[in-house]
A and B are shown apart, each in its own frame.
Chain A
Amino acid sequence: MSHAAPDRTPVLQAKGLVKKYGRVVAIDGSDLELYPGEILAVIGDNGAGKSSLIKALSGALVPDSGEIYLDGRQVQFRTPMDARSAGIETVYQTLAVAPGLDIADNLFLGREQRRAGPLGSVFRMLDRNHMRSEAKRHMSELGVATLQNIGQAVESLSGGQRQAVAVARSAAFGSKVVILDEPTAALGVKEGNRVLQLIRDVRDRGLPVILISHNMPHVFEIADRIHIQRLGRRATVITPKSHSMSEAVAIMTGAAEPPPPTA
């Protein structure tokens, strides 16, 4: 559990992000800091602006104003591809997998690797064996060893296994940050716990994780710090040790005054 020391440079930082849709203000000057080696949970009521905030960080939305810094350098993301090539991988709630394709194909979807030599450059032939063995390696590195057949179609997997494929993809290609949007929302207790372990594994491999979740027990079990979003801005940042679950919910809903950041 590497707790973030405040003097360290955040891997990813947002300052004063604003996004308006007509008269509706989705993000109203929101800040966010993600430090190396931590799991930062982002919680908030519906309409608090968490998904807009996350979309701004993953390039799915261009903020009207405000700044985003990656490793201390200012960046501007116009598309999800921009954020991705900067090293930020996002696992969307909808998972973004192609059900009919197999696990290896899905892991490399959008960044397929071609064979070396003329077979690859002229005939555009994919290096299936290499991608399969790489996929296998990534999956087993994350302890997803139950998936025996890497050539299995993703539609034949359970919800948790599909989630594992999506998380493995982000961990395999994200070099700086992994963002997970409600990764346990559709899962049963057992599968949810497996995915939590997967998220810890990603963090322990050195990739900081931003986790958006409604599931308070999961958040308090896994997060190093908890960013509470309220009314389009960051209300405060707490830790699972400094506050209880009910206190967090009270801050989130406005029933309690946000305390000064404890982390």
Chain B
Amino acid sequence: MATATADFDVRKNDSLGLRIQHLLHANPILGPLAVLLVAIIAFSIVNGRFFTATNLSLVLQQVTVIATLALGQTLIILTAGIDLSAGAIAVFSSILMATFCVDAGVTGVIALLLGFACGTAMGALNGFLVTRIKLPPFIVTLGTLTIFFSLNSVVSNSETVRGSDMPGIMTWTGDSIPIGNFRLTYGSIIMLLLFGFFFYALRSTAWGKHVYATGDDAEAARLAGIRTGRVLFSVYTVAGLLYAIGGWILIGRLASASPNVGVEYNLDSITAVVLGGTSLFGGRGAVIGTLIGALIVGVFRNGLQLAGVEVVWQGFAIGLLVLIAVSLDQWIRKVKT
């Protein structure tokens, strides 16, 4: 009790900066949330068209794929890993789904499930290389990124498959429920449900605790009796499935399956995770932050566009945001107790 009171007294005398540092350390979600709100308010003032139901539903549609990939990326980054192959798995899965139903002629549902299975297998391959061959995740996914994109070109002949040639279920994720002028796509609903699911799994199941413990200090987790290899493998495999679901949502969004999109998705998914306050050093962060991070990317892209800023400068702004977010993470980690 004495120490608690003492701590409290010390905190009162802290400078404003230190108090903010403590606040962010205790509630890492506050930073990203503040950035998102400030961005929304600023862009609404700059251009009246920004804060309309039509435009906001467009923003949500634009971030849905990135957010889904970023969800898988969050799981991996929580274990102190990184996945450079997220976008490649998503795009390759979408091409495989399209190929299964258009060229191989299987029904839509089967093609979809086969696509999910392939994405899961690609994630499992990453997991196998990380846990069994014990290669660094960066190197593993750099290699598989290149391999998946290459296979992607082989399978697709670098040709786009039109959505109208596919069974309805493949582009269903792009259909929407109108709520006034706001068009909520089924893809967005799936994405939000997935976030809800993993919010629960990370917070309220033993698996979630093990993911955090493994990312925090893998050796300590192992000594505490956690099978860290299994945890890592499960994370990469589940991420693969999430990327494949992202690929499905991508087909709906583009109304086609194209092998030539998604190069930027790898880095965008990492950007969303980092902006959401999840630490690249593992063990810290939450999926809600990632959702906010993805929305920040979407709001900036859309808002800057409406404000008449050229595309090239949008990238500049996002890059700047990432650097600020990582610096902030470093600063918060140095919190004194």
Residues of A within 8 A of B (CB): 80-81, 84, 92, 94-101, 105-106, 109-112, 114, 123-126, 128, 146, 148-149, 155-157
- Which of A96, A101, A124, A128 touches B212 (beta carbons < 8 Å)? A101
B177 part of interface (Cβ distance < 8 Å): no
Report the 7 A-B pairs with minimum CB-CB distance, sorted nearest first. A110-B225, A96-B223, A98-B213, A112-B206, A96-B220, A124-B205, A98-B216
Given A105-B209, A110-B221: 10 more A-B contacts, CB < 8 Å: A84-B225, A95-B220, A96-B220, A96-B224, A100-B216, A101-B216, A109-B213, A110-B210, A146-B1, A146-B2
Complex Cα spacing A223 to B220, Å: 28
B4 part of interface (Cβ distance < 8 Å): yes
Complex Cα spacing A98 to B210, Å: 9
Residue of B nearest to A155 (CB): B337
Contact B337 A101 (CB under 8 A): no
Q: Say whether, besides A81-B225, A114-B206, A146-B3, A94 and B212 are in contact (CB < 8 Å).
A: no
- Interface digits, B114-152 against A, CB 8 Å rule (1 contact, 0 not)? 000000000000000000000000000000000000000
Contact B220 A98 (CB under 8 A): yes
Contact A111 B225 (CB under 8 A): yes
* Nearest CB on A from B268, distance (A): 26
B15 part of interface (Cβ distance < 8 Å): no
What is the interface size of chain B, counting residues whose CB is below 8 A from a CB of the partner? 26
Q: Say whether, besides A99-B216, A114-B206, A148 and B1 are in contact (CB < 8 Å).
A: yes
B183 part of interface (Cβ distance < 8 Å): no
Complex Cα spacing A155 to B22, Å: 13
Residues of B contacting A157 in the complex (Cβ-Cβ under 8 angstroms): 337
Complex Cα spacing A136 to B260, Å: 56
Which B residues from 280 to 309 make CB contacts under 8 A with A? Answer: 283-284
Contact B283 A98 (CB under 8 A): yes
Q: Say whether, besides A98-B217, A148-B1, A124 and B207 are in contact (CB < 8 Å).
A: yes
Most buried by A among B2, B200, B201, B223: B223
Complex Cα spacing A106 to B224, Å: 9
* Nearest CB on B from A187, distance (A): 15
Residues of A contacting B200 in the complex (Cβ-Cβ under 8 angstroms): 123
Contact B205 A126 (CB under 8 A): yes
Complex Cα spacing A97 to B284, Å: 15
* Nearest CB on B from A90, distance (A): 8
Complex Cα spacing A94 to B200, Å: 31
Residue of B nearest to A114 (CB): B206
Residue contacts A-B, CB under 8 angstroms, 26 given: A84-B225, A96-B223, A97-B220, A98-B213, A98-B221, A98-B283, A99-B217, A99-B283, A100-B284, A101-B209, A109-B209, A110-B224, A110-B225, A111-B225, A112-B209, A114-B206, A123-B200, A124-B204, A124-B205, A125-B205, A126-B204, A126-B209, A128-B204, A149-B4, A155-B337, A156-B337
B219 part of interface (Cβ distance < 8 Å): yes
- Interface digits, B1-26 against A, CB 8 Å rule (1 contact, 0 not)? 11110000000000000000000000
Residues of B contacting A100 in the complex (Cβ-Cβ under 8 angstroms): 212, 216, 283-284
Contact A125 B216 (CB under 8 A): no
B326 part of interface (Cβ distance < 8 Å): no
Q: Say whether, besides A146-B3, A156-B337, A109 and B205 are in contact (CB < 8 Å).
A: no
Complex Cα spacing A81 to B209, Å: 19
Complex Cα spacing A146 to B6, Å: 12
B184 part of interface (Cβ distance < 8 Å): no
Residues of A contacting B30 in the complex (Cβ-Cβ under 8 angstroms): none
Residues of B contacting A97 in the complex (Cβ-Cβ under 8 angstroms): 217, 220, 224
- Interface digits, B306-337 against A, CB 8 Å rule (1 contact, 0 not)? 00000000000000000000000000000001
- Interface digits, B176-194 against A, CB 8 Å rule (1 contact, 0 not)? 0000000000000000000
Residues of B contacting A106 in the complex (Cβ-Cβ under 8 angstroms): 224
* Nearest CB on A from B289, distance (A): 14
Residues of A contacting B205 in the complex (Cβ-Cβ under 8 angstroms): 124-126
Complex Cα spacing A99 to B223, Å: 14
Residues of A contacting B210 in the complex (Cβ-Cβ under 8 angstroms): 110
Contact B226 A110 (CB under 8 A): yes
Residues of B contacting A126 in the complex (Cβ-Cβ under 8 angstroms): 204-206, 209
